Structures are given as structure tokens and as C-alpha cells.
Amino acid sequence: MKKKWFETWFDSPYYHILYKSRDELEAAIFIPRLIHKLKIKNDSILLDLACGKGRHASVMAQSAKKVVGIDLSPNSIELAKQKYHDLQNLEFIRADMLNFKSELKFDAVFNLFTSFGYLDHFDENCAVLKNINSLLKSDGVLVIDFMNSAKIVKELIEDENKTIEGNNFCIHKQFKDGLIRKRIKINNDNELDFCEQVQYIDLPMFEKMLNKSDFKITRIFGDYQLNPFDVDTSDRLILECRLKD
């Protein structure tokens, strides 16, 4: 079976090179601020859904009883295990957010850094949300950190070139058929060609999906400083969601 784009791109070392600016310092500032805002207790059990190399989960582990990080990329999970092996309350598991199951019930589930909307069919998003619903405690909280799609499309730069660690990334972006797409060509010894695509999901669309999955949005933030969301100016769309009564 042919691998989906995110199975190859996210498991490539070039993904981590291109997004190396998203580092531990950013997570070290954002996560404690978010934990404080949500009033997460020290005895909480947390889930980082699509954890990548574990930069957010490792910070969560400083303020929780136990943290589980899951990701579909074997490379990312292996790197996370190697880097944070000394944190006894932190566990990394290779798993798919669509069907991940656990004997644990979580006080909070985090889906960060636009790790949503990658699936082939839009209605599969609700399946992900319903699975999260089954993993949460009744008074638990879900946080989705997504891009502000409206602003992204409005300010879309079609072509961009970046040279990082001797690798030349030629990036072409387009918005078509409800998808924000990137084609990423990497010119080094051999030319490599990857794609990255995320569904266009704005606030009304999230509201509809979450409502269908028995969630309600309780607060909305527009950046990693947790300022209020503004559809025209905010870089992020960060949703605090609770299960319906």
C-alpha cells in the first residue's frame, strides 16, 4: 500500500531540518503558560497527540504525573525516546491518532503545531475527535493548536526558497480544493520531492466538527502568548474544548 504523504514527509530528516526553528525554547515558554492557563494539576495524566520528537511532551512532564506522547512517525518516536529517556513519567508510543486506544483516561489531550486536518476525507476529522472524546476523563480538556487558515490563505506566498544546513528547499504553496498545499523540492546531492497538505479549517468549521463530536469550545486564543483570537491578525487558532454536559 502506498504511504500517505505525512508518513513519508514527517519521517524524513529533512522535515526536522526545515522546521528546526520550532525548538525546545518555544515549547519551554508556551507549554508552562498553557498549563497554568488551563489549571492543570501536578497529578494529571496528559496525552500529546502527534508529539513529533517530543519537545512539548517533555515540558509537560515537568508539571504532570504522567505524559504519553504518540506519533505515526517511527523516526520521530525513536528520536524522542533517545532524547528524553531519563524522564520516568514520559512514555512515547508509535500510534495513529485516528485509532489510538489506552487503558488510561487523560485529564488533558493536546494536539499542537497544526497536527490536525491531514486525512484524506474531511469527515475523518470527526472520527479523530470522537476517538479523543473516548480518551478523556469527563472533566478533561482538549487543546487544538491550529494555524489561522483565513490569514494563511490571505497572505499566501506562492514561492519561497530557503537554505538550511546546506540544503536548498524550494517551496511552492497553493490553496486549492479546500487544501493548503506545499510542494517541497530539496536540492542537495540528489533532488528530493515531498508534499505537505493541510485542510482549510476555520473557526466555524471547527465549531461544527467539535459540536458533532460532543465537544464545546470554551476559550479561543490567537497566539502562543494566549492573546485573544482575531481572524484578521492572529497567527494561530488555539481552541480550549470541553466535553458537553
Reduce the secondary structure of the chain to three states and give it as a string.
CCCCHHHHHCCCHHHHHHCCCCCHHHHHHHHHHHHHHHCCCCCCEEEEECCCCCHHHHHHHHHCCEEEEEECCHHHHHHHHHHCCCCCCEEEEECCCCCCCCCCCEEEEEECCCCCCCCCCCCHHHHHHHHHHHHEEEEEEEEEEEECHHHHHHCCCCEEEEEECCEEEEEEEEEECCEEEEEEEEECCCEEEEEEEEECCCHHHHHHHHHHCCEEEEEEECCCCCCECCCCCCCEEEEEEEECC
Euclidean distance between CA atoms 187 and 2, whole angstroms: 24
pLDDT band at 178 (very low <50, low <70, confident <90, very high): very high
Fold (topology level) of 19-147+201-243 = Rossmann fold (3.40.50)
- Other beta carbons within 10 Å of 184: 21
Euclidean distance between CA atoms 49 and 109, whole angstroms: 7
Task: Indicate whether 42 pLDDT > 70.
Answer: yes
Annotated domain spans of the chain: 19-147+201-243
pLDDT band at 1 (very low <50, low <70, confident <90, very high): low
The pTM (predicted TM-score) of the whole model is 0.93
Asked if 171 and 158 touch (Cβ cutoff 8 Å), the reply is no
Euclidean distance between CA atoms 1 and 189, whole angstroms: 28
Short-list 175, 170, 165, 173, CA closest to 201: 175
Least confident segment among 24-28, 138-142, 154-158? 24-28
Task: Indicate whether 20 pLDDT > 80.
Answer: no
Short-list 133, 132, 135, CA closest to 106: 135
Query: What is the per-residue pLDDT across 60-98, written as a single tens digit (0 to 9) for each?
Result: 999 999 999 999 999 999 999 999 999 999 999 999 999
Residue 213's Cβ-side half-sphere holds a number of Cα atoms within 13 Å equal to: 25
- And the C-alpha cell for 79? 528520536
pLDDT band at 24 (very low <50, low <70, confident <90, very high): confident
Q: Count of residues for the chain?
A: 245
* pLDDT at 143 (0 to 100): 98
Query: What is the per-residue pLDDT across 98-155, written as a single tens digit (0 to 9) for each?
Result: 999 999 999 999 999 999 999 888 889 999 999 999 999 999 999 999 999 999 999 9
| Phi, then psi, of 85 in degrees rounded to 5 | -65, -20
